[in-house]
Structure 1
Amino acid sequence: MREPVVPAEPGTAPDLVELARVVGRQRAEMDRLREQAATSAVVERAKGVVMALGGCSADTAGETLLQRAKAARRTLLEECWITLGELAPARSGEPSARPAEDTGDTTAGFPEADPPATPSPPDDVADALGRLARVLVRTDTPQELARCLLEHLGPDLDADSVMIYVRRTDGSLELLGHAGTGERLAARWSRVPPFGGVAVLEALDSGEPLWLEDFAGDSTRYLLIGDPPERWRSRAWLPLPGGEGPGICVGVLRGRSGPFTPRDRAHLRGAVRLCADRLRAFAAPSEPVAGPLPGSVRALFAALPVPAVLLTPLPGPSGGTEDFRIDAMTAQAADVLDGTGDDPAGRRLREVRPDLVDTPMWRGCLDTLAGGGTYESEPFAHQEVVDGVTEPATYSVRVTRSADALVVTWLRHASSDRQEQRLADLQRLGNLGWADWNLTTSEASWSSQVFAILGRDPADGPVRLVDLPGLAVPEDRSALSGAVDALIREGLPLDAPFRVRDARGVRHLRLAAEAVADLRGTPVEVHGFVQDLTARRRAELALVETERAIVTQHDVLQAERSLVARLQNALLPLPERVVDLAGLRVEVAYLPAQAGIHVGGDWFSAIELPDGDALFVVGDVAGHGVDAVATMAQLRFTAKGMVITGSSLTGALARLNTLLLHSRDSHGTATMVLARYRPAQRRLVWAQAGHTPPLLLRDGEVTYLRRPSGMLLGGAAGPHFEEAECLLEPGDRVLLYTDGLVERPPENIDVGLARLAAAVAAHPDDEAGSLGVLLETMLEDERRDDVCVLDIRVPKER
């Protein structure tokens, strides 16, 4: 037993009590921070495994773990341990690089100011916890969980028994589950009063594990469980982390003496964290027991002439209301709520009507229970059977609180009530109100909606029909007055728009009315309605403005496209037939994009140089419009000029890159292929700047030429360019093209290159016009980019 507590001297006890409270709060906060850090470390390790195996992002890995846990009905922590355990075979031969957990006894003394983050357990412990997580999902009772823990901890920690206690509201301990103790001993220790000298209570009070490793010393301080107590020479009591919900403590009892090693302590802490959610659910307050109702309550519900039900709230694991139990019900309520004719008294409301959970009535019950006052629902339709015939009825629900229960009643609306409700709904949905005028007595009657629409105080009363035009803005009074006069004098129907001005601004209204005449044909009454069309009118005006802006913008863009197209045609004339160039047959195709109205910066050049060689250029400037066309022209003519004056292909690319970087008139970046053909050797020398490689067709086999080094123009200062060469043979076919021929977002460009190779292999003809067939095959869908192609053929020898 503990030593008795000696009271402090007068004047000091309050200070010590307050100090103890502060220390207790600090310990609880330390425990919460440690457990958050430990749980976060496990989750992050599991996310890292999923990222490594699946090649995904951290957010995707976290979502994957959540979905797995939900599908397997596990907690997130259980799923994380299982994921880490799946790596056991790969790590079985590796030494653990993690430091052992410092788990010295911290049950005495003051807490540290900043608690250290709990380190991750060693790899073999993580693997063991992963295996435990797999079997925990099959435990449905505290007894099964205790047996599961003992089977898991027994071989590894020499555990002989497991006991799980929960502290109830009166401070006593209740044995929630046990394994390895025997039923007689468990019955003896099933309830423990809240007195001193109990190790479980001390662990719960401190919020820290209590390691009892010295039996001789511990037996003098605590009342030890056991018959005899020497049955277990060492034991550990570990409270659930977090401090939320009921206090729960897990005890692991061993027959052998000796300390728990740092590895053992890490293992036990991890196992308790893993079981925490399930233990809290098991220890939640049980469902209130339905006792016999007083006779007065039964008599009251038997005499009630309306559908009514008495509901008792049922708490869930988190403490909030999870469901309601039906304790009493009138016969009419059974028909409305259940519809089967059976008496559902004693059953759960969600069992009888699971569809009510997402309804306003359910939220109204929760609000009323929380002190929000009486709840009254909007009228709703309900199909009921009268004399064997199903007919619609209208009900509303009223929820009131009576002590700790709820009384729910259903009010059936009469036919007249339904008609009034429908009229009210019609006025609300149509934003209109009805009005009557008696032309003989000059009396008027308006619905409340008319006063709201006209912005008139109901205390001022309605106005006469002849005075109604005076409420309109001056510009509309004359037309409205003439229509009202024709209605009153000649009985002509009226349907006139008019505007009023109030605190909300100018509002667009509509008055529709017709007259009721006497036997002589003289109008004596007028019935009609006033409707607010402000929102519709504003939408119409906004639509007109939008259409006008669209037409204007379309005209501007069409003019720009026409200008750019003319400029492009002037700068990039297309040959109308196949061209013979340096002994080669060259065919050109240029197709502008169909998507949008902008033209782009694709271009080509195919010329014969002064020395008899041929120069071929295909390029693509980023962007569309006037700027792209201007940059295209600059690059096209500059490239030709540089090569004609003797510059090498790589030198020309380097100077063009400098031009784009330092010219204020340049437009972004560009890609390009420069190729020079020497007919005497049939040698094709080429260089590229970030462009797709040329395609070669030889003897029916398609290959892409290996690209030499070279990055796109305008991307960086001082890029490195290289040349490559290819000896052509009679019958060879070479394609230079821009990326619009092969790209189809969002697919990879390699897919487009493979598609082009297949299409060329399928159409190897060298007849004129075969390029058109190839383009039709490649460009089946709408073109989102320009397409430029140079089709170069080496004639076959005769």
Structure 2
Amino acid sequence: MPGPRPVCDPQDVTSEAARPPEAGAVPDLAALAKVVARQRAELDRLQETAATSVVLERAKGALMARTGCSLDAAHEELRQRAEDSRRTLLEECWITLGSLAPSGRTAVRPPRADAVTDRPPSPAPDGAGPDGEALARFARALVRVGGPQDLARCLLDHLPSGTGAEAVMIYTRLPVGGLELVGHAGVDDVLVEQWRRVPPLSGIAALDVLDSGEARWLENAQADRWRYQLIGEPAERWPTRAWLPVTDGARSADVAIGVFRHRAEPFAPDVRQHLLAAARLCAGPLRMFGIRQNPAIGADADAVRTVFERLPGTSVLLTPLRSPSGDVEDFRIDAATADTSDTVGRRGRELLGLRFRECWPGTAGEPLWQGCLDTLTSGQPYESEPFAQQHVVAGVGELATYSARVARLGDGLVLNWIRHAPSDRQEQRLADVQRLGNLGWANWHLVTGEVNWSSQVFAILDRDPAQGAVPLPQLSSLALPEDMPAVARAVTELMLEGRPCDVQFRIATRDGTRHLRVVAEAVPDNRGTPVEVHGFVQDITAQRSAELALVASERAILTQHGVLQAERTMAARLQDALLPLPKQPVQLSGLRVDIAYLPAQSGLNVGGDWFSAIELPDGDALFVVGDVAGHGVDAVAAMALLRFTAKGMVITGSSLTGALARLNALLLHSRDPQGTATMVLARYNPRERRLVWAQAGHPPPLLVRDGKARYLDRPFGMLLGATDTARYEESECRLAPGDRLVLYTDGLVERPSECIDRGLERLARAAVLPDGGGSDRLLGALLEPERRDDVCVLDIRVPQEDEHPAA
């Protein structure tokens, strides 16, 4: 029975005219002419059927857009209209598309009361609604689009100016996850290449739309960038954008359309309804383009296609394309071997994505087509009767015999054509398959003791063929001693009970240890006693090596995690011991001091920021805020060195500038260099309310007086540990009752995406707010959810004249 002609000349023949001619017979040219004429007629019929399907799908899309009904409901509505009007379905589709009304009139009558719809049309708020005339023009234009790229340009051209649309992008969900750009308009080529493939990541608006089935209206770029990855260079290129699901009302969306605008204003209700209606109109064309179909090969698409390309012979992998009623209309080719060709000469990868009946039109009424449908339904393989086929080799035609085989794979089919060639060629192809798969076949006859192995089995077992094959009971002797019991047990159950065998073991070879897999089954006699065993031996060394490497990597990760956890615990305890944080504000020299310390939210949560607030023996108060570069144990050690040394120097009578100079020398000339650090030293005399302070590369203190904030003028001072010629100066400030002085580290004001001046301005504004009272409120007003640095704050307040010192 004739099947598809994958390797034939365009002048193929049918079963009546393609049988091998008898010796001396003259070919029947009249019969060949009849075959060609019949095939041309069949091709014309198929083309007419395809055109009818296109018009039908677009008419259904128009009904869906105007009434909000589902795809099946739209089909039933068109069929009922045609029956009521005594017209054909095709005539009714053309009438529906051609009679779309201008604005103010409805071109498609609403569904009857007994018609089933999946959802009612959404009423427009306050009488607003989509532009009917624009939708009518768009629906009529859809009849002429030839692909998703044309669809994107058509959609952008037919959106009313009131929508403000500047660009359109159409994405489809990939079987492996993520998105693929299938159509675009108004977008430059650079941006298209950057966003052609989108991995399955969080924060992608189009993926969010497909997962939820609901539109996303992005109307605030500044706020939306925190939730989504915005397309554009820069993202503010399109201040507002809409992502719309393309769904037929009954299935989940597999296509999302993005509409981009230069307008920085929300989408009006009528604009939203118009865009949603236009997206529903796109469902029909996209369905016709096959965009929403997922291949039968699923997540391993690229791997399966690569395997098919490397296989000998002629085979294709087919995915069924179904009508709204569920019937199989055709199959799409998702993989093909390099030797496969259709009736017009397209080969291998050129066939991917094409329709089966488009490539081989002559199969429409043949048993092979019904065999494909039966296999898809029942799962039982189908094999055709041998048929003669004209095969062209080097421009010379020769007659060969073929048969077709169909097997189910997942939701699709594998169809291959077998050429009945001489036995030596079949043996060579079998040898190629064994070599590529690194496996070989084996057969043991349990009654006669005859053993047959393919040459690949000897190569896998590293055994000289002159030594002969190993009997089945002795197979376990090839394994390493620790694997022998498992192999012997599996072989015994196979020989005595007929239980299938699938066992893995190791052998020692000249190249090292190999991991093998043996799969075998028994053939019983009429009494159920196993009399023959056949199976295969496969080398899985590469797979096992990868598995063992993965296990070793996981163990190394767990070990490293334990080391990091131990370091985290040690550093946290050390910092808590070295830098205890008071739970309540403290009173020093008549001042009220509120202290806050927050570690970074990433890393070890242990950093180099520190503070000191003590009362000196002479009644003065000493305030220190510092920041050591880095995190972890080294930063904690440097922090402890500077904190205690600075206090000791000032207590023993050193001036502020002298203490900074000595600390700088300490960092530079210690045995283990401690890096760099910044610091502010301040000494307060309560009798004169005089504050003397010095700094080393640190932000200045903030003074709040009478509701106004200003930063103190910084005296000269170099970063600690930067140079051995550093110079430091002091500055003086008189405090008044009610004053507030804020000392802080740079983590309070610095953000990665801006300069520090903006952070200083933000701190000054927050400090003068009426509710900006304690350090906790100050931190809450300034800090981002994700901090990259530690924060340390000393909030110092001078009591009012009538305020109790302890208040």
TM-score interval for Structure 1 and Structure 2 normalised by the shorter chain: 0.3 to 0.5
TM score, norm. by length of structure 1? 0.47
> Bigger relative contact order, structure 1 or 2, given CA contacts below 8 A and separation 6+?
2
TM score, norm. by length of structure 2? 0.47
